[in-house]
Amino acid sequence: MRPLYLLTLLPLVLGGCPYLASNEASYARTSSSPAPGFHRALNQLSVDEVKEDLMELFASSDPKWPSDYGNYGPFFIRLAWHCSGSYRISDGRGGCDGGRQRFDPERSWDDNTNLDKARSLLTPIKEKYGLGLSWGDLFILAGTTAIESMGGPTLGVCLGRVDDVDGSKSIPLGPTAEQEILAPCPTNGECESPLGSTTVGLIYVNPEGPMGKPDPVVSSTQVRDTFARMAMNDTETVALIGGGHAFGKTHGACPDGPGLPPNEDEENPWAGNCGSGVGIDAVTSGFEGPWTSDPTKFDNYYFQNLLNYDWSVHKGPGGHFQWQVASDSNATSPSAPSADGEGEQDIMMLTSDISLINDKAYFKIVSEFANDLDSFSDQFAHAWYKLTTRDMGPVTRCHGPTTPEAQPFQYPLPATPSPHDLPEWGTVVKGIEEVIASNVGAGEAFVRAAWSCAKTFRNTDFLGGCNGGRIRFVDETFPESDEIASAISLLSTLEESAPSSLTFSDLLVLAGTVALSSSNPSLPPLRFCGGRTDAEANDGGWEYLFPRITGGVDDNADVLADVISMSGLTEPEYVALHTAANSLNLDELVNNDFELDADGGLYKAVDAEIFITKTDYILKTHAEFHSIVVDFASSPEVFQETLAVAWGKAMTNDMFAVDLGEASPFCFTN
Ligand SMILES: *[C@@H]1O[C@H](CO)[C@@H](O)[C@H](O)[C@H]1NC(C)=O
Ligand SMILES: *[C@@H]1O[C@H](CO)[C@@H](O)[C@H](O)[C@H]1NC(C)=O
């Protein structure tokens, strides 16, 4: 489809323009709102000073949880990794933004055993810097600084994670009743997408092997599957595993386990059931040993070790299958110092490590990295940044001096224009009004198209939305592609001589805004903010635009509620927008009984020729939505007010680079 340009018409006086701010709430973000003053405090944060404090912490050792090898660095890499590794592309949930590892359910996950100690060690630093240093940012800074401190490559750190006040956004990750409804995993260990891992409570796979069976071939299949659910390809997967396992060790001193998690023993979680419970007596994963002979230095020995030795499986001291250099091979196993520095310990591998030499594609990458430290370093630095940043969304959500240049996974857009370079909006509005006046159905098409792209925004990883104009790249597999195509073709009738500064995405939203206002004389004034820019080519970002609710027969009330919870809108707001965009008659919906039509898909009124979609039917029949619909039907004022606020929010939820404040030059203020 062609980009669109708009006819330049005579400049128009904007007096009486109806697109004004109705109130502050019409554009305030509800989702992931930072605490007041957070960004100001973050901009004043001295990241170098935080890093110095972290370096001092790495070199210390608290007898309550002594560091391994006199270095806490590896511990914080694990913390940052496990905070980030919960991210999944299915719905953008998980990740370290929000710092939810401090709360259940995540803090009690098996894979987060003993990370309460890592967070305690960081508490004095958090308290020292306060508001400007969020927990999420601190975790990622700690892990990334640890890599740097041990000679590893990094790209930098994107800061600006906004701490959640509780763990509720991780409830769908499980283990919870809500997860059982939305994403059941009948056999824990064989979970599938939308869950990120094979096992609820783990980040990826059971490292011992599928369902605890030390089968490296099947393990490689699972590793590939779960990393793909986190948007990682083979190279990134191998780089991350090898980079992570260049550092530190696993802990499984004896078979008696780590003790009870925080949700079962709040006072003294994971007390450790072996000996002193700490240091060389620690139990975390139940496996025991380091992967390389120098576990506090970044190198590619992990890959060399995988290739240079024969590995045989045995039960380690923690009672789980792990791998050691085969005793019948001629080589003697390399050893590392023991964690307390008083002896030595042989290196080991986990089944998931051995899987990397039991799969052709992985083996090739392992060989490359074993022979080429630079290539490994480059891939690891990029993969680590992606792992820890992917859930942050567009690069415009990153703050601070340490943000690297935009990466492909952030689907970067052209820079936001200066407000002086924006088109003369009055002219554009006039053009849109003329199209609406001279084309039957154009107004409805514009409202629908703007809502179609706006509702793809998800406030989990901040993908989707109208910004970027990627909706023009959708193909016929997209549920509303016909309607979108017709809106685009109507707008293209204005293409002759549009101001070059007008972006397709701004035009589409403005057309929807103008159309909604002119079709609803009693609607409170709508505010429009411009400054969206268009992705220049199909960068793959549109694949995240696919709506999860299609009005199809498989949709249900739980899925609808889940989609709404990620939309940045309240349920009434979402219902108002859905109603307006689909020209749904609320009285008809409330006053008729509907049944599934024989032709499938739609529902038909029992006594009238009225058809509604499955989503409409859910709104009518599901108690929680039904009361919203009834309220709206009985009070048109409430409906109109809710709709106006919702429209303003939905159209701007994905705009992070534009000042949306009351006096913003990007917005119509007349
Ligand atoms: C995986 O992605 C990285 C980063 O974009 C790229 O360098 C690498 O070639 C990709 N690997 C594969 C196997 O596609
Ligand atoms: C050990 O070395 C001998 C002599 O070099 C060789 O014949 C044998 O195959 C080696 N064994 C293993 C398991 O590598």
Helix H or strand E encompassing 323 = strand 321-325
Mutational pocket test of ligand 2: of 308, 325, 327, 330, the residue with most ligand atoms within 8 Å of the beta carbon: 330
**299 C-alpha to ligand 1 centroid (Å):** 20
Q: Which ligand is nearest to the CA of 228?
A: 1
Q: Which atom of ligand 1 is nearest to the CA of 386?
A: 4
Q: Determine phi and psi for 595, rounding to 5 degrees.
A: -140, 155
The continuous run of DSSP H or E covering 315 comes out as strand 311-315
Phi, psi of 447 (to 5 degrees): -60, -45
The pLDDT score that the predictor gives to residue 21 is: 35
Please identify, by atom number, the ligand 1 atom nearest to the C-alpha of residue 383: 4
pLDDT one-digit tens code per residue, 533-554: 999 877 888 888 887 777 777 7
Cβ-Cβ contacts under 8 Å for 351 (sequence gap 6 or more): 207, 208, 209, 214, 215, 216, 219, 313, 321, 322, 323
Query: Is pLDDT above 60 for 48?
Result: yes
Nearest ligand to the CA of 409 is 1
Those residues with Cβ within 8 angstroms of residue 311's Cβ, 6 or more apart along the chain or in another chain:
323, 324, 325, 326, 349, 354
Residue 386, exposed/middle/buried by CB under 10 A (0-12, 13-18, 19+)? buried
Residues with Cβ within 8 Å of 371's Cβ and at least 6 positions away in sequence, in order, are none
State both tokens at 321: 């299958």
* Ligand 1 contact, 234 CB (< 6 A): yes
DSSP helix/strand/coil, 368? helix
The pLDDT of residue 669 is 55
Q: Residue 373's Cα: distance from chain center in Å?
A: 31
- Give every CB contact of residue 424 below 8 A, 6+ residues apart in sequence: 11, 12, 499
Average pLDDT over residues 48-76: 98
* pLDDT band per the 50, 70, 90 thresholds, residue 32: low
Domains of the chain, first to last? 7-392 (1.10.420.10), 419-545 (1.10.520.10), 553-646 (1.10.420.10)
Could you report the per-residue pLDDT of 399-454, keeping only the tens digit for each?
989 999 999 999 999 999 999 999 999 999 999 999 999 999 999 999 999 999 99
The full length of the chain comes to 670
Q: Report the interhelical angle of 301-308 vs 360-371 (nearest 10°).
A: 120
Q: Is the predicted pLDDT of residue 26 greater than 70, yes or no? A: no
pLDDT tens per residue across span 105-118: 999 999 999 999 99
Please, what is the Cα angle at 38 between 89 and 144, to 5 degrees? 55
How close is the Cα of 329 to the center of ligand 2, in Å? 7
Rg for the chain, CA atoms, rounded? 28
CA of 348 from ligand 2 middle (Å) equals 21
Tell me what the pLDDT averaged over the chain comes to.
92
Place 480 in a pLDDT band, splitting at 50, 70 and 90.
confident
Q: What ligand has the least distance to the C-alpha of 365?
A: 1
Q: How confident is the model at residue 474 (pLDDT cuts 50, 70, 90)?
A: confident
CA-based nearest residue to 311, from 296, 333, 290, 279 = 333
Average pLDDT over residues 466-483: 90
Q: What are phi and psi of 90, to 5 degrees?
A: -50, -50
What's the rounded mean pLDDT across residues 229-251?
Answer: 98
Token pair 């400007």 is at which residue?
A: 132
Q: Which residues of 409-430 are buried (b: 16+ CB within 10 A; e: fewer)?
A: bbbbbeebbeeeebbbbbbbbb
Q: Is the pLDDT of residue 161 over 60?
A: yes
Kindly state the tokens that stand for 93. 């949930």
pLDDT per residue as tens digits for the range 284-321: 999 999 999 999 999 999 999 999 999 999 999 999 99
Region 313-340: what's the mean pLDDT?
95
pLDDT for the residue 13 = 33
- Quote the Cα angle for 56-59-63, to 5°: 110
C-alpha span between 152 and 207 (Å, rounded) = 24
The share of the chain scoring above pLDDT 70, in percent, equals 94
pLDDT tier for residue 555 given thresholds of 50, 70 and 90: confident
Cβ(555) – ligand 1 distance below 6 Å: no
Mean pLDDT check: name the lowest of 171-180, 279-288, 532-541. 532-541
Give yes or no: 382 in active site. Answer: no
**Cβ of residue 615 lying under 6 Å from some atom of ligand 1:** no
**Taking the CA of residue 93 as centre, how many other CA atoms within 13 Å lie in the half-sphere pointing to its CB?**
25
Query: Which residues is 529 bridged to in the sheet?
Result: 667
Q: What is the pTM of this model?
A: 0.93
pLDDT for 377 beyond 50: yes
- Whole-angstrom distance, CA of residue 206 vs CA of residue 166: 27
Whether 353 lines ligand 1, by a CB cut-off of 6 Å, is no
Assign 3-state DSSP to the chain and report helix, strand, coil percentages, each to 5: 45, 5, 50
> 233 CB under 6 A from ligand 1?
yes
| Mutation pick for ligand 1 pocket among 230, 232, 234, 235 (CB with most ligand atoms within 8 Å) | 235
> Which atom of ligand 1 sits closest to the CA of residue 233?
1
How far is residue 217's CA from residue 221's CA, in Å, rounded to a whole number?
7
Half-sphere exposure of 515 (CA within 13 A, CB side): 30
Q: Which two tokens stand for residue 533?
A: 């820019």
629 vs 579: CA distance, rounded Å:
9
DSSP conformation class of 345: E
- Residue 161 tokens read as 């994670």
In the three-class reduction of DSSP (H, G, I as helix; E, B as strand; rest coil), residue 414 is classed as: coil
Q: What is the mean predicted confidence (pLDDT) over 354-361?
A: 98
pLDDT of amino acid 328: 82
User: How many CB atoms lie under 10 A from the CB of residue 5?
Assistant: 18
Q: Which ligand is nearest to the CA of 328?
A: 2
**Span 516-534, pLDDT tens digits:** 999 999 999 999 999 999 9
Q: Whose CA is nearest to atom 1 of ligand 2?
A: 330
Is residue 649 within 8 A of residue 26, CB to CB? The reply is yes
pLDDT at 330: 83
